[in-house]
Amino acid sequence: MLPIALQRNPELLIISALLGLISSIIAMRWAKKKGAPQAPLVLFALSLTAVLAATLVPISRAMSGAGYCTIVSPWDGMLDDSGMLNVALFVPLGFFSTLILRRPVLTIVGATTLSAAIELFQGLIPALSRRCDTSDLCANSLGAIAGSLLAVGVVRYFKAEYNVRSVRKFWVILASTACAISLTAVVKLDWQAAPTMSDSAWTQASDSDQKRGESIARKLLGRDVRINQVRLMNNVDDGGVRSVGMVQFEGGLLYINWDSGDPFHGEFGSSVGQRPLDSLAPISGARRIDEGTATKRARQFARDLAWSAINQEPKTTANGDQSRGFTVSWRERENGVLLPFRLDILIGPTGEIEGFDGNPVRLSHPLPPVGVTESDARGIATSKVSQHKIGSVELLAEQVEGLWIPVWAIGLTRDGSSLGNQDRWVVVIDATKPRVIRTVDPSGTEL
């Protein structure tokens, strides 16, 4: 995550410097009061500040991954830029802690526990826009071990005599607190193998399917994409899609409609903590892009999706505030009916492509004419769900008994709110003739 944090938060270096200055002053005063050597304490404070600033500063908008922890191989990504930075981050902390305490085992255990607590925090707090990942824990631990061993060598070679018992108490308290946080968080996180492919419905692709998935991914993302594996799920039967392919690569995931070969969903860059690919990278020199630049960037990516062929103007909305990037959305209508085709592209605050989600389905024949007015549909819905008020109305195309027809989707709540609250009902009405297709209660059950 470090390259992404620095990339999206250039001010992180300034924040780290200010926090480091404050922690150094506190460490110097404390060392002077205790009569302890100032240099190792100040450097320990700086290294601890760097760790906390680099791992707990929010990256971007909240990611959907909060709430679970990804379990991967200890060596997964260890030698790439992100992995090496995670190793290097904990080397100074391990070095100066061991130099002060002269207890390398205690230092390694404490640093590993601190790293575990940080990872769990990243998984539990959506506002951090980070992911809990066991590979980061392994990299941090390796850095702490390397720093501790280096300090042991320095102490033995130079006969150093730094030994501050009161600092040891502080480190023990810190490690104990981190342990308590970790134990509390463990019971609240859903631990998943990475990527989330544990469902038995996913099967490993054959050699020919592996090559096909790699070809589709490289056509969209560029030749530099490093693909780990391709998996397939058959008999999906979702909106006409029978088979789905999932390509895992260093930088994210790509889902493909295997029947047509069209990618329809992607999670890039920050989703797995890797450096973005060149085709997805931020705009050179950009700090914070505006709405127009986000729209232009999304158009460029949309052109690479063979199925998009978009003529309409998109709708661009800020994700919270503009510092969290934008969502650029395309929709199509036919005679006022919202068609199944859609495309949403997530643009980061500096122009990077964070992901996309779409439905490439285009109708091969015109829809039947609408024969039920909105007023009539409203009356049917309110008679079906009494004591509720209409909050939303949408005329859209839906596949019913194998045919695409226009339907009215009407949402009802007790107070008439359009928001998806806990008492929201949905009534779907055939727009060609007055009949209810289905009614969905607040629990999602069709009645």
CB burial readout 246-273, b (16+ within 10 A) else e: bbbbbbbbbbbbbeeebbbbbbbbbbbb
Co-location of 271 and 238 in the same domain = yes
Please tell me the predicted confidence (pLDDT) of residue 367: 94
Note whether residue 368 is domain-resident: no
Please tell me the predicted confidence (pLDDT) of residue 157: 73
Please tell me the predicted confidence (pLDDT) of residue 270: 44
Note whether residue 101 is domain-resident: yes
Co-location of 14 and 82 in the same domain = yes
Co-location of 61 and 108 in the same domain = yes
Residue 376 to residue 267: CA distance in whole angstroms = 42
Sequence-ordered list of residues with C-beta below 8 angstroms from that of 21, at least 6 positions apart, any chain? none
Residue 320 to residue 373: CA distance in whole angstroms = 36
Please tell me the predicted confidence (pLDDT) of residue 196: 43
pLDDT greater than 50 at residue 66 = no
Co-location of 334 and 435 in the same domain = no
Considering only 30-39, 146-155, 190-199, 413-422, which range has the smallest mean pLDDT?
190-199
- State the greatest distance between any 2 C-alpha atoms of the chain, in Å, as a whole number: 91
Co-location of 354 and 387 in the same domain = no
What is the span of the domain harbouring residue 399? 374-440
Distance of CA 218 to the CA centre of its chain: 22
Considering only 225-229, 234-238, 291-295, which range has the smallest mean pLDDT?
234-238
Co-location of 244 and 152 in the same domain = no
Note whether residue 367 is domain-resident: no
Note whether residue 392 is domain-resident: yes
Q: Is 313 exposed, middle or buried (0-12, 13-18, 19+ CB in 10 A)?
A: exposed
pLDDT greater than 60 at residue 436 = yes
Please tell me the predicted confidence (pLDDT) of residue 357: 92
Residue 63 to residue 61: CA distance in whole angstroms = 6
Co-location of 185 and 252 in the same domain = no
Collapsed DSSP state (helix, strand, coil) of residue 145: helix
Domain stop point among 193, 221, 239: 193
Residue 282 to residue 291: CA distance in whole angstroms = 15
pLDDT greater than 80 at residue 346 = yes
Tell the residue number behind the tokens 């490993």, with chain if given: 204
Contact 150, 160 (CB under 8 A): no
Sequence-ordered list of residues with C-beta below 8 angstroms from that of 75, at least 6 positions apart, any chain? 135, 138
Co-location of 213 and 296 in the same domain = yes
Note whether residue 446 is domain-resident: no
If pLDDT is split at 50, 70 and 90, which confidence band does 153 have?
A: confident
Domains contained in the chain, number: 3
Co-location of 129 and 255 in the same domain = no
CB burial readout 61-85, b (16+ within 10 A) else e: bbbebbebbbebeeebbbebebbeb
Please tell me the predicted confidence (pLDDT) of residue 200: 47
If pLDDT is split at 50, 70 and 90, which confidence band does 259 have?
A: confident
Q: Measured between alpha carbons, how far is residue 281 from residues 84, 222, 425 in Å?
A: 20, 12, 42
Contact 406, 337 (CB under 8 A): yes
Domain stop point among 173, 193, 213: 193
Co-location of 131 and 102 in the same domain = yes
Considering only 54-58, 222-226, 395-399, which range has the smallest mean pLDDT?
54-58
Co-location of 107 and 239 in the same domain = no
Both structure tokens of 123: 């998984």
Note whether residue 447 is domain-resident: no
Contact 4, 59 (CB under 8 A): yes
Give the DSSP letter string of 166-221: HHHHHHHHHHHHHHHHHHHHHTTSEEEESSS--STT-EEPPHHHHHHHHHHHHHHH
Average of pLDDT values for 216-233? 86
Please tell me the predicted confidence (pLDDT) of residue 220: 87
Distance of CA 379 to the CA centre of its chain: 42
Domain stop point among 159, 193, 227: 193
Note whether residue 31 is domain-resident: yes
Q: What is the pLDDT of residues 92-111, one digit of tens each?
A: 999 988 888 888 899 999 99
Co-location of 35 and 127 in the same domain = yes
